[in-house]
Structure 1
Amino acid sequence: MSISYQRWVGRKQTSNFREAAALETDTIDVSKLKGDEVVLKIHYAGVNASDVNFVAGRYDPTAKPPFYPGFEAVGVVTHVGPEAKRFRVGAAAAASGYGFFSEYAVISEKRLIPVPSPDPEVIPLLVGGLTASLALQYTGEMKSGQKVLVTAAAGGTGHFAVQFAKLAGNHVIGTCSSDDKVEFLKKMGCDRVINYKKENLAQVLKKEYPKGVDIVYESVGGETYETCVNALATHGKLIIIGFVSGYKDQSGWVEGKGKPGAPLVAKLLAKSASVRGFFLNHFDRHFKEHMGRMVQLVKEKKLISQVDNTATFRGLESVPEAIDHMYQGKNVGKVVVAISSPQAKL
């Protein structure tokens, strides 16, 4: 028996997703599943800012097309291989990796996470939630009683960083771009929300936090990054989880001309501060523990896994529109695409 399905495939290296990728048809011969492989019918897939970096080949300079984008999914197991033991047909499961902008995926059951049901609210936990949880604990070494600044705080990972920082007993500052997001972040627990369209971020930080902030969870880049470095307290830590302002035009991957490095180094040196990068895949040994913790917090209603409801995206063909929506800064929470669920509720 074979399953015919569609998936997005990147054939050209460019950060313009519409130019890089196209919908293609493929087949899965379920009689040839090996070992613990299973077939996952994907109900929902998540959109990430780094989707455009992936099809541009930025994460691995030696990589060449084809690329299979889509980093996270939740769905139902439809077929199992001869050695699969953990999952049965009909079981709900989530997964993170590559190739999930697709109607189906073949995957080792070891990489699947059991979930009660294939709901869209699972998606934000897989990349955004794990990134926030792991980065703040291991890279930021977050403690209680600190001042934590989260940029793009209403986004897919930012809203988790706000909540984790607050749960740890910290004063949380969040940046965003609209009044709706201001209200959302207040509900998430932000002590101070800065709408940078109405307030000058650098001025607010200098005036209200003259001694600086202890941790910055930074995903914007560009001028925001420079402002955050200036706002660091003595022994402060800035965690770079991304630099979305330089993704689409790829400027973030190119060394700027005529930009001396000494001033930034001097600022860090003067404060014994540090800038630390975080890449989720380097912490995979901690995924199970942190995922379990987040699921429990959601059950206890202590953590909100926010799916963006400012727009609805259904079907694989809507993936480019969903990516554009996120880059336009319209989303509040995680952008999710309903792939093949007949009960899709977004």
Structure 2
Amino acid sequence: MSPGSFAEYTVVPASIATPVPSATPEYLTLLVSGTTAYICLKELGGLKEGKKVLVTAAAGGTGQFAVQLAKKAGCHVIGTCSSDEKSAFLKSVGCDRPINYNTEHVGTVLKREYPGGVDVVYESVGGAMFDLAIDALATKGRLIVIGFISGYQTPTGLSPVNAGTLPAKLLRKSARIQGFFLNHYLSEYRASMDHLVKMCTSGDLVCQVDLGDLSTEGRFTGLESVFRAVDYMYMGKNTGKIVVELPHPVNSKL
């Protein structure tokens, strides 16, 4: 957890490094995505057995953890995704009701199957999905914003939200919206990371990695493939956390 990205090497103080049992890509999924889901739901989710939890982009890097952690808390979990393959993955990690938004309308499914609404939404898409999630909230429901990928490529970085009707919708349901940014919860980071590493090592947590094997040009290898990996993510192709492999230099010296 230090500034810098898309580099072969980085230097960090030992005090902020996390020891892992082995140098496998699964542990990379925990650094931001896993801890975001864990701390966010622990601190803000108010999860209890029987609660209904909606996770958007549920088969993505952080969504996969929100699904599993909510399920472990005894909740009924609904997850949105973009393909039948992702729906199958979500079922395999405990999602009770995957919704492939390319074959089913999310709003229609939520109204029909959850007429009383959902108690918690873990939202990372923004735009139209955000509006659907607001409409799906139950009385006293809460929506937690951890990102808005639909707006990351716009000039302002913001996606359209129907803010004009938002106050009335929240008032009618005594609902709430709250943002979550991991940097504001770093006091919880070390303990959370240690806990997640143990869960991953014991097999109690699936840490799905997408190395790009199914992308058009194959696996993401080397810094030159980073742009392909980013495009792959924006196209919604990934299942789990995207990882770019960096070949080990043959004659490198420290």
TM-score by length of 2: 0.92
Which whole-Å CA distance do the structure 2 matches of 1:135 and 1:304 have between them?
A: 18
Aligned pairs, how many?
245
Measured in 1, the distance between the counterparts of 2:132 and 2:9 equals 43
Q: In the alignment, what sits opposite 2:182?
A: 280
Equivalent positions of 1:252-331 (< 5 A) are 252-253=157-158, 261-311=163-213, 312-331=219-238
Q: Give the superposition deviation at 1:186.
A: 0.4
Q: Which amino acid aligns with 2:173?
A: K
Distance 1:156 1:341 in 2: 25
**Percent of aligned pairs with the same residue?**
53
Matches within 5 A, 1:45-64: none
Question: Given the superposition, is the C-alpha separation of residues 220 and 106 from structure 1 closer, same or farther in structure 2, using an over 3 Å criterion?
Answer: same
| CA–CA separation in structure 2 for the residues paired with 1:317 and 1:310 | 14
Structure 2 stretches lacking a partner, 5+ long:
214-218
Task: Tell me if the contact between 1:240 and 1:275 (Cα under 8 Å) persists in the aligned partners.
Answer: yes
Q: 1:108 to 1:167 in 2, by over 3 A?
A: same
Residue pair 2:59, 2:239 contacting (<8 A) in 1 also? yes
From 107, 110, 119, give the equivalent of 1:214: 119
Contact 1:132 1:158 (C-alpha < 8 Å) held by counterparts = yes
Structure 1 runs of 4+ off > 4 angstroms? none
- The 1:289/1:164 distance shift into structure 2, 3 A limit, reads same
- Distance in 2 (CA, whole Å) between partners of 1:226 and 1:326 is 22
Instruction: Please name the residue that 1:84 is paired with.
Output: none
The alignment status of 1:235 with 2:137, answered yes or no, reads no
TM-score (norm 1): 0.68
Cα distance, 1:219 vs structure 2: 0.4
Q: How does 1:71-150 map to 2 (within 5 A)?
A: 96-150=1-55
SS at match of 2:39: helix
1:251 Cα shift? 5.1
Tell me the alpha carbon deviations over residues 19-44 of structure 1, each in whole angstroms, 9 at most, x when there is no partner: xxxxxxxxxxxxxxxxxxxxxxxxxx
Distance 1:341 1:126 in 2: 21
Alignment-mate amino acid for residue 306 of structure 1: Q
Q: 1:166 aligns with which of 71, 77, 89?
A: 71
1:276 & 1:319 partners in 2: Cα distance?
A: 32
Tell me, yes or no, if the aligned pair for 1:309 and 1:332 is still in contact at 8 Å: no
Aligned-residue offset at 1:342 = 6.8
- Give a deviation string over 1:264-295, Cα, whole Å, max 9, x none: 11000111100110001101111111111111
Secondary structure, aligned partner of 1:225: helix
Q: Is the 8 A contact 1:103 1:340 kept in 2?
A: no
Equivalent position to 1:341, from 244, 248, 252: 248
Matched residue, 1:177: 82
Secondary structure (helix, strand or coil) at the match of 2:185 reads helix
Counterpart position of 1:18: none
Residues 153 and 176, structure 1, Cα contact 8 Å, conserved in 2: yes
Determine if contact 1:310/1:332 at 8 Å carries over to the other structure. no
Cα deviation code 1:170-218 (max 9, x no counterpart):
0000000001101000001000010000001000000100000000000
The residue type equivalent to 2:230 in the other structure is: I
Following superposition, the deviation at residue 260 of structure 1 comes to: 6.7
